[in-house]
Amino acid sequence: MRRFLPLLLLFTTLSAGTVNLALSANVSYAAADLVAAFGKHHPGTKVRVTLGSSGKLTAQILHGAPYTLFLSADMKYPEALYEKGLAVTKPVVYAEGTLALFSKKPRDFSKGLALLADASVRRIAIANPRSAPYGKAALQAIRSAELPAEVEKKFIYGESVSQTTAYAMTAADVGLIAASSLHSPKMARFEKRRHWITVDPKLYTPIAQGIVILKKGAHDPETKAFYDFMLGRESRAILARYGYRLP
């Protein structure tokens, strides 16, 4: 079996007293704050975070990856794991994600998503809609806006929404990204209505993000503690600061 390595935020190696967390990439910007806040209440517990698209993380779980807790960017993947007996808690929504249209260069955002049809926009970064819920929502928003079909020929796909943000900063002219990424320090210099706007939430199905305790964490008190923390008031306040809607 392929060895699974975290993409970011490796806090410790696996050991007793460790939460092995599979985390959808859109939460990467809030992850450090969430782990730090949890650590204040549980100083003896280590948290090991692996980031990726929800689809990729689910595939790893299906192939035996040793995660104990899964925070997905939508409900589809944790529900599938629950039905297969690989999750021991019924999936619940812990936050709702939102989309933003972003450009590293100032643009006329008064056009809304119609900006994507401009000749000056040659490459559009979106997350892969086959594996990343934010990509699915981005595609849905574009189609709901009834833009010309040629717009989709401009797509370049990120494996996850965090990779999509990187593409929007480098290889693409604009990107449909997680609004949460705009709250990261590296994005602080970009201004609303000059570099980004939020996408009308009426154009896509709410991105209900789900959490489940996995079978490998069924009897682990540290995993249960982090699960309870994610559904509590303190984590909700952190998520709200990063642009998430709360159920």
Q: By C-alpha distance, which of 130, 134, 125 is closest to 95?
A: 134
Strand pairing report for 99-102 and 174-178: antiparallel
Residue 56 lies in a domain: yes
- Residues 129 and 162 both lie in one domain: yes
- Residues 76 and 196 both lie in one domain: no
Helix segments in 87-220, DSSP class H: 133-144, 161-169
- Residues 159 and 211 both lie in one domain: no
- Residues 151 and 104 both lie in one domain: yes
**pLDDT of 221:** 96
**pLDDT of 112:** 96
- Residues 181 and 225 both lie in one domain: no
CATH number at residue 182: 3.40.190.10
**Cα Rg, the chain, nearest whole Å:** 18
**pLDDT of 11:** 39
Residue 3 lies in a domain: no
One digit per residue, the tens of pLDDT, for the chain of length 247 reads 444 444 444 433 344 489 999 999 899 989 999 999 999 999 999 999 999 989 899 999 999 999 999 999 999 999 999 999 999 999 999 999 999 999 999 999 999 999 999 999 999 999 999 888 899 999 999 999 999 999 999 999 998 888 999 999 999 999 999 999 998 888 989 999 999 999 999 999 999 999 999 999 999 999 999 999 999 999 999 999 998 999 8
- Residues 106 and 195 both lie in one domain: yes
- H helices, E strands: number in the chain: 7, 10
3-class secondary-structure state, position 226: helix
- Residues 91 and 212 both lie in one domain: yes
Strand partners, 102: 175, 196
Counting beta carbons within 10 angstroms of the beta carbon of residue 192, is it exposed (0 to 12), middle (13 to 18) or buried (19 or more)? exposed
Q: Which domain range does residue 54 map to?
A: 18-96+207-241
Residue 2 lies in a domain: no
The pTM (predicted TM-score) of the whole model is 0.81
Residue 90 lies in a domain: yes
- Residues 64 and 89 both lie in one domain: yes
Residue 182 lies in a domain: yes
Q: For the chain, percent helix, then strand, then coil, each to nearest 5?
A: 40, 20, 35
Task: Look at the chain and report how many structural domains it folds into.
Answer: 2
Q: Taking a C-beta distance cutoff of 8 angstroms, is the pair 21, 226 a contact? A: yes
Residue 125 backbone phi and psi in degrees, to 5: -90, 125
**pLDDT of 247:** 82
**Angle at the Cα of 34 from the Cα atoms of 30 and 40, rounded to 5 degrees:** 150
